[in-house]
Amino acid sequence: MAKPQPINYEDASPEVRAVFDDIKTSRNVPDVNNIWKYLARDPVTLRRTWSSVKEVMAPGALDPLVKELVYLAVSVTNNCGYCVASHTAGATKAGMTEAMFGELMAVVGMANETNRLVTGYRVPTDAAFE
Amino acid sequence: MAKPQPINYEDASPEVRAVFDDIKTSRNVPDVNNIWKYLARDPVTLRRTWSSVKEVMAPGALDPLVKELVYLAVSVTNNCGYCVASHTAGATKAGMTEAMFGELMAVVGMANETNRLVTGYRVPTDAAFE
Amino acid sequence: MAKPQPINYEDASPEVRAVFDDIKTSRNVPDVNNIWKYLARDPVTLRRTWSSVKEVMAPGALDPLVKELVYLAVSVTNNCGYCVASHTAGATKAGMTEAMFGELMAVVGMANETNRLVTGYRVPTDAAFE
Amino acid sequence: MAKPQPINYEDASPEVRAVFDDIKTSRNVPDVNNIWKYLARDPVTLRRTWSSVKEVMAPGALDPLVKELVYLAVSVTNNCGYCVASHTAGATKAGMTEAMFGELMAVVGMANETNRLVTGYRVPTDAAFE
Amino acid sequence: MAKPQPINYEDASPEVRAVFDDIKTSRNVPDVNNIWKYLARDPVTLRRTWSSVKEVMAPGALDPLVKELVYLAVSVTNNCGYCVASHTAGATKAGMTEAMFGELMAVVGMANETNRLVTGYRVPTDAAFE
Amino acid sequence: MAKPQPINYEDASPEVRAVFDDIKTSRNVPDVNNIWKYLARDPVTLRRTWSSVKEVMAPGALDPLVKELVYLAVSVTNNCGYCVASHTAGATKAGMTEAMFGELMAVVGMANETNRLVTGYRVPTDAAFE
């Protein structure tokens, strides 16, 4: 297997095009992002992943902006460059301002710091949390 | 050095008590959580960490509930048991319902999944994100 | 210390050349991959790492393809770009097809997702697993 | 929200019971593992996660044992205790012997080691991998 | 919000300049590294982060070289490319030789390996460590 | 395969005993830690891991205390409970005081924080670091 290559709309099979069409309609965009073009190598994973993302990111008890902020926070913690770029864009589209971004990064940084302090000091869970 | 041991209020130095007092006042709680009792082993780290957490978690462009949700999302991603327990409690205090928790976990799970798909497929960043 | 630089065969010491020669013979390749050229900066680590990799990746209860798939799964989880590229190549050489790659990524993604759901929900270990 | 609590079959809603029944039938087990009892707090996530796991772990280009070994490798890398326990059981059911487990752990350990060496030495990707 | 952009000294506000000046004086450098130019987007985070780094990295029970080695070890484990580059430079300035770097990477690699072996084998903590 | 079980000296094969004896002699301890008793399930991994750890942790350009501090820093970052406990003990034996431990945790926490800030702000590597 060589390095994975993207599949563009014009070269896609009908089942892949159907997913691409649903992404474009749902998000009101002229083309899908690179992640979908690469997942198209495996139509089963493409369909399942899009279907899951669509369900998970829909408005619910949490609004779409909060969900995008959380997605970005996880992507930063996992050090995933593509994901940081795409979810910064996604969160911005959902309403994230630069001030929100700054506070988000501050919280993400602090959480990563205190998570390790807790581990290093071997802090036992408070009875009140059980 | 033996296993780290907590320092309770009654055994704390004046500088540690001052931090504990500020935590109790700021959060309107009768006692501080275990993390602070363990960090009290190192008063410099205790003071700096509390001061930073207080600043970072204050209301701003993001409200306190969103910040707690993000803190919990990072703690789950880092697999920190104590942090998950304490920030589930913190988020609940800030207004998280069980429905919000369910959606939050769904987003965190999905982000961790797609972060790896992106890495495995070596997806390049879309020009639009740069 | 400046940025680490690789050592090529023609500039290598006899002890480094001996490791390079063994890699080339064992893998039947005309040159070693970049990782070995960089580890050559520290001949002790070069020798130990190659010796360990050679032992660990040899056929045994698990065949070489399975071992390469696992290596790739770990590299994706750790978000190591070089490692993903080199072990995609390694797995392909050992027989990985694109269909296998697709399923592998699907499993890696799912495992990363459910790992976090378990942590977030604080699921206790079933008695049957102990 | 208090600490998440499991939902047992006898207390489950019809939609949750339908998922539990499918898990029990598909895996030929008398009861579901704890993860499903906790995810039952959020029936949407329960249904989506089970549906995805069922699809991803089905026999395909990779056989079920290989998929379980990969799941375990990821769980070890993420340091998820519950996941290690449950997927050691799952892999064993799929045919993993103790010899296979030993070799699997050796590969996982080695991959985690070399992933970091590559990062520390800043090894550039070989042209042949692109 | 577009992709974050750095703020250079000549375009910086007085409060940002004050932090930049302190960094340049404390480290005796003509300009600050990129991280500070990006954090300058959020002056509150810039000030708090620099203040914390300055306090944490000052000579104390551990000398500055040891602290830089630890910072580099964490950065490698987290697979942060920028951080590896900047802390390799920082450690070198504090006295790290190439021989030290080689041994540091060897320890980091080994720790990452045995951390996973312990998790995979589910090793319980020795009574003597409690 | 059931849950991994330790092998004690009295039940060990000659090849496992030989490794246990070398650990006891090298470290001047009456018994080996749990990690070795579990790795004894796979004598090849036991031998290789001990041999590697012995080589890596020997005095060299870095003294044993620094190496233990680094090992502990990595273990905290990886959130490995057993490893934190065992390497806190190991570092203490090598001379770590509580003041050193406090500073070490402060550096580990700060590095984990700034690693994420760098990722979130997408900070490019300074030309001076290349």
Contact D82, D94 (CB under 8 A): no
Q: Is the pLDDT of residue D130 over 90?
A: no
Of E48, E129, E130, the CB nearest to B52: E48
Tokens 């012997």 map to which residue? D97
What would you measure as the largest C-alpha separation in chain C, in angstroms? 59
Q: Is the pLDDT of residue E1 over 90?
A: no
Domain boundaries along the sequence of chain C: 7-58, 59-121
Q: Work out the pLDDT band at A1, boundaries 50, 70, 90.
A: confident
Q: Is the pLDDT of residue F1 over 90?
A: no
Task: Tell me what pLDDT residue B130 has.
Answer: 87
Mean pLDDT, chain D, rounded, equals 97
Q: Tell me the pLDDT tens digit for each residue of B54-108.
A: 999 999 999 999 999 999 999 999 999 999 999 999 999 999 999 999 999 999 9
Q: How many CA atoms lie within 13 A of F5 on its CB side?
A: 7
Interface of B with D (CB under 8 A): 79, 85, 88, 91-92, 96-99, 101-103, 105-106, 109
Contact A95, F99 (CB under 8 A): no
Could you give the percent of chain D with pLDDT greater than 90?
Answer: 98
Please state the φ and ψ torsions of residue D60, each to the nearest 5 degrees: -160, -130
Question: Rounded to a whole number, what is the distance in Å from the CA of A79 to chain E's nearest CA?
Answer: 7
Task: Tell me what pLDDT residue F36 has.
Answer: 98
Extract the tokens encoding D18: 């339908």
Chain A residues with CB under 8 Å of E118 CB are none
Q: Is the pLDDT of residue D22 over 90?
A: yes
Is the ipTM beyond the 0.90 threshold?
A: yes
Mean local confidence (pLDDT), A13-37? 98
Of D96, D103, D109, the CB nearest to F1: D96
Interface of C with F (CB under 8 A): 3, 44, 48, 52, 55-56, 129-130
Contact E44 A106 (CB under 8 A): yes
Q: Hey, which chains touch E, using 3+ CB pairs under 8 Å?
A: A, B, C, D, F
Interface of A with F (CB under 8 A): 72, 76-77, 79, 81, 84-85, 104-105, 108-110, 112-117, 119-122
Question: Rounded to a whole number, what is the distance in Å from the CA of D2 to chain A's nearest CA?
Answer: 8
Q: Is the pLDDT of residue F26 over 90?
A: yes
Chain B residues with CB under 8 Å of C81 CB are 119, 122
Q: Which of E5, E72, E77, E119 to mutate to probe the F interface, most F CBs <10 Å?
A: E77
CA-angle at A113, arms to F110 and C112, nearest 5°:
125
Specify the CATH number of the domain A1-58. 1.20.1290.10
Rounded to the nearest angstrom, the gap between the alpha carbon of residue E38 and the centroid of all alpha carbons in its chain is 15
Residue C3: C-alpha distances to residues C37, C57, E96, F10 (Å): 14, 30, 13, 50
Answer CATH for C59-121 from 1.20.1290.10, 1.25.40.10, 1.10.3720.10, 1.10.630.10: 1.20.1290.10
Could you give the percent of chain D with pLDDT greater than 70?
Answer: 100
Q: Work out the pLDDT band at F115, boundaries 50, 70, 90.
A: very high
Task: Tell me what pLDDT residue B91 has.
Answer: 98
Q: Hey, which chains touch F, using 3+ CB pairs under 8 Å?
A: A, B, C, D, E
Contact D62 C97 (CB under 8 A): no
Q: Tell me the pLDDT tens digit for each residue of B17-43.
A: 999 999 999 999 999 999 999 999 999
Mean pLDDT, chain B, rounded, equals 97
> What's the one-letter identity of residue A106?
A
Contact A119 F85 (CB under 8 A): no
Tokens 């959380």 map to which residue? A70
Separation of alpha carbons C71 and E115, rounded Å:
16
Of A79, A101, A106, the CB nearest to E1: A101
Q: Other CB atoms closer than 10 Å to residue E126's CB: what's the count?
A: 17
Chain F residues with CB under 8 Å of C48 CB are 52, 55-56
Query: Considering the domain A59-123, what is its CATH architecture?
Result: Up-down Bundle (1.20)
Chain F residues with CB under 8 Å of D103 CB are 42
B114: closest chain C residue by CA:
C109
DSSP state of A6: -
Can you name the CATH fold of D61-122?
AhpD-like (1.20.1290)
Mean pLDDT, chain E, rounded, equals 97
Q: Work out the pLDDT band at E3, boundaries 50, 70, 90.
A: very high
Q: Tell me the pLDDT tens digit for each residue of A28-41.
A: 999 999 999 999 99
Could you give the percent of chain F with pLDDT greater than 70?
Answer: 100
Q: Which of B80, B105, B116, B118 to mutate to probe the C interface, most C CBs <10 Å?
A: B116
Contact B97 A61 (CB under 8 A): yes
Tokens 């987003």 map to which residue? B107
Torsion of CA E71, E76, E80, E82, to 10 degrees: 70
Mean local confidence (pLDDT), D14-32? 97
Mean local confidence (pLDDT), D28-44? 97
Question: Rounded to a whole number, what is the distance in Å from the CA of A10 to chain F's nearest CA?
Answer: 33
Please indicate whether the domains covering A1-58 and A59-123 agree at the CATH topology level: yes
Query: Considering the domain B60-122, what is its CATH architecture?
Result: Up-down Bundle (1.20)
CATH class of the domain whose range is E7-58? mainly alpha
| Cβ contacts from C onto E, under 8 A | 29
Task: Tell me what pLDDT residue C114 has.
Answer: 98
B75: closest chain F residue by CA:
F79
A129: closest chain D residue by CA:
D3
End-to-end CA distance of chain D: 49
Contact B4 F106 (CB under 8 A): no
Of B3, B48, B55, the CB nearest to E55: B48
Q: Which of A8, A32, A34 to mutate to probe the B interface, most B CBs <10 Å?
A: A34
Q: Tell me the pLDDT tens digit for each residue of E29-67.
A: 999 999 999 999 999 999 999 999 999 999 999 999 999
CA-wise closest residue to D65 among D86, D88, D81: D88
SS3 D56: helix
